[in-house]
Amino acid sequence: MAEPTVGVPIGADYPRGSSLPFPLGVRSGLPQLPDGDTNVSVFAPGLVAVDVFWEADGSWHRRHLTDGHAGIHHAPVPGLRYGARYGFWPQGQDLPGEPGSFQLLLDPYARGIETAPGPDGGQLLFSVHTSPKFDWGGAPRPHVPWRSSVIYEAHVKGLTMLHPEVPPELRGTYAGLAHPAVTGYLRDLGVTAVELLPIHFHTDEPHLQDLGLSNYWGYNTAAFFAPHSAYATEIARRRGAQGVQDEVKAMVRDLHRAGLEVILDVVFNHTAEGRQGWPALSFRGLGEGTYYRHDHEGRYLDVTGCGNTLDFSEPRVVQLALDSLRYWVNEYHVDGFRFDLAPALARGADHRYDRRHPFLVACAADETLQSVKLISEPWDIGPDGWQTGNFPPGWADWNDRFRDSVRDFWIADQGTLHAGGQGGSVARIAGALAGSADLFAGSGRTPLASLNFVTAHDGFTLRDLTSYNGKHNEANGEGNRDGSDHNRSWNHGVEGPTDDPDVRSRRLQTARNVMATLALSLGVPMLTAGDEFGRTQRGNNNAYSQDNEISWVDWNLDEDGRALLRDTRRLLRLREQYLRTQPFHFPADSGSSHLLWFDADGQPMVPEKWEDPGNRVLQLVIAAANGELAGLVVLNGHLEDRQIVLPDAAALRSSGADIGPGRRYEPLFSTASSVDRRGSRMAGGDRDRIPANSLAAYKLSGGPAA
């Protein structure tokens, strides 16, 4: 090792302008420093003094960091150039070996992470100093408004590993996701944003390594500023952390050029350091008493189920998250974030969720974050952990109430009815269609705060919801004990794959019902990659450790898959036609609504019909912001065909619609029929037949009946 460079003694006055406590991390080119010096600053409240080690010219160097104040250690470092690997170590503590042969403490603000073989077959991680320079080529950010947004949740690797039109060397990479074959497909499908499972650098938990598996989903973050290197192409990885960083930026640039926004799934609730007492990677060695949440006896307080919880009652932890978010917006041009287990980020010193927590207030007040989409997963496993609808204005919440209501009405209830039982009423599915006012209206939010989804990465795919009564997670190596046992699924009479044409037809119709409800509900829809054509995970509802064909999207579509894809495209276009002029607010009173509800006889719904489980037919007339009627959606949740009466002018007026005579209904779409009835027209008061277990959509227009 090279002769250590001696730093300014701890406690002494450091020369004016020699280094700064802020910004935290490693920064070159600051005007306060001499040319060639790099500012190094780390928040390490658990250490009296800190050394930084860095690699240059084939050898490792060391410098003492001056303790500025309040746990921040900093110093100017000559020779820590772009591309250099570095790490921290407690000053005065014996080194386990030569630097580079053991795990130095990672910089919480490291812009890049590189790996190297470690002792006993393990892996060492090194922070890397990277340059922010990148040619964005003038690619504009799409700035898609919430009301026009359709989100597509995908895994960087899994989306393209099996894609036949993506070159083999790009499959499973950032560059592969931005390939024209993928961006063109997504635009043609009708989505406006890709929501990527975590791309922050993450590690695999020890129990997965023992099983020969990996954390495929990536919810085990080790560095909040560095992209995960394994998703980069081989060419980029050869360039090191800088190459990985540049490839991620190129992905965002090319997605923007295609008109697609990029939303990152971020995991600030816990870190990869796991349980108390496990080896330190970064935060634990720098000051676990401050970074992590503890109970009154000094034990980790875990509201994540992952071994630790970052303590967002600490200002520097809040700053870490905010600095990371701003960095990804400013330096990577991302368009939004989905926050994993978001209540954990808004728990105060009393460990309770606070809707006005400083982190949430800061997000609302921050000029950079005001311009991007903020999406919460509004639950964790701590006290009062379910907070759907309780995040502040400006946020959208993953709406699990929508998910459960749609699954119950179209899937679980159908299984119950086929078994001779009784399904639920239309009340909950109506609430889902209406934007879940019961959750969001009281908190001053709009239907756009409802991020509607029926499936996500966690749980069954849409195809598996219709193909399995129970989970089949044996591949995870946990004896099928992991994953949810309450899926609201139904296999339509056969568990798993089948060649029975009747079963397959009924499964396909159920999938159409779900897609149609997702597309035509108020709120913001989110699709899970592959659901639009029936991707299966072979019944695995917790495929977090399956980096293989179980999780990868199979683009080899069968006839059913091609049919569902065609219908999904039609439905997303129909959504634009139905909902583009919606005011997207909840009515101030029951007498002013842009959603008008009718029963099978075309009469306004009355209370007793809302809660009657024997009534599973509902008609919804959608009105535009200007009062113009846009369309009609009819649901039939019975096992038999049902005849309906289309609402006439008198019924519409009695429900509050300002409408004259001459309106006509044009059939646009049915989940149960392949017959195209577009162009035919019916008048209010006419009868129509709605097939069993189906949804139908109509356009309202003027002109004579056919």
- Summarised one tens digit per residue, pLDDT across range 402-415 is 999 999 999 999 99
Q: Is 258 helix (H, G, I), strand (E, B) or coil?
A: coil
406-420, 638-652, 659-673: range with lowest mean pLDDT: 659-673
pLDDT tens-digit readout, 137-154 = 999 999 999 999 999 999
List the structure tokens of 192: 């406006």
Q: Residue ranges of the domains in the chain? A: 25-128, 396-549, 595-701
| Phi/psi of residue 87, nearest 5 degrees | -170, 175
Residue of higher predicted confidence among 33 and 213: 213
* Single-letter amino acid, residue 30: L
Q: Is the torsion defined by CA of 515, 517, 520, 524 positive or negative?
A: negative
Distance of CA 7 to CAs 11, 49, 56, 67, Å? Answer: 12, 11, 18, 11
d(CA 389, CA 439): 5
Q: Is 704 helix (H, G, I), strand (E, B) or coil?
A: coil
Active-site positions?
340, 377
pLDDT tens-digit readout, 427-447 = 999 999 999 999 998 888 999
d(CA 26, CA 628): 58
d(CA 551, CA 610): 40
| Phi/psi of residue 208, nearest 5 degrees | -70, -40
Q: Is 694 helix (H, G, I), strand (E, B) or coil?
A: strand
pLDDT(65) > 80: yes
In this predicted structure, what is the pLDDT of residue 9? 35
pLDDT tens-digit readout, 312-338 = 999 999 999 999 999 999 999 999 999
CATH number belonging to the domain at 595-701, selected among 2.60.40.1180, 3.90.550.10, 3.90.1150.10, 3.40.190.10: 2.60.40.1180
| Phi/psi of residue 444, nearest 5 degrees | 75, 20
List the structure tokens of 130: 């990277």
List the structure tokens of 607: 């209370």
365 close to 357: Cβ distance less than 8 angstroms: no
Look-up of token digits 């009819």? 634
pLDDT(419) > 90: yes
pLDDT tens-digit readout, 211-266 = 999 999 999 999 999 999 999 999 999 999 999 999 999 999 999 999 999 999 99
Beta bridge partners of 634: 619, 696
Mean pLDDT of 336-360: 97
Distance of CA 258 to CAs 138, 192, 337, 531, 604, Å? Answer: 13, 10, 20, 22, 45
List the structure tokens of 161: 């590993």
Q: How confident is the model at residue 581 (pLDDT cuts 50, 70, 90)?
A: low
pTM of the model: 0.96
CB contact set of 548 (below 8 Å; sequence gap of 6+): none
Q: What percent of the chain has pLDDT over 90?
A: 86
d(CA 256, CA 194): 11
Question: SS3 string of 528-567?
Answer: ECCHHHCCCCCCCCCHHHCCCCCCCCCCCCCHHHHHHHHH
- Host H or E run for residue 63: strand 59-69
Instruction: Tell me 410's DSSP state.
Output: I
Tell me, yes or no, if the two domains 25-128 and 595-701 fold the same way: yes
- Topology at the third CATH level for domain 25-128: Immunoglobulin-like (2.60.40)
pLDDT tens-digit readout, 123-141 = 999 999 999 999 999 999 9
Question: SS3 string of 205-257?
Answer: CHHHHHCCCCCCCCCCEEEEEEECHHHCCHHHHHCCHHHHHHHHHHHHHHHHH
State the greatest distance between any 2 C-alpha atoms of the chain, in Å, as a whole number. 92
- Host H or E run for residue 645: strand 642-645
pLDDT tens-digit readout, 683-698 = 999 999 999 999 999 9
In this predicted structure, what is the pLDDT of residue 32? 84
Question: Taking the C-alpha atoms of 380, 386, 389 and 395 in order, what is their torsion angle to the nearest 10 degrees?
Answer: -10
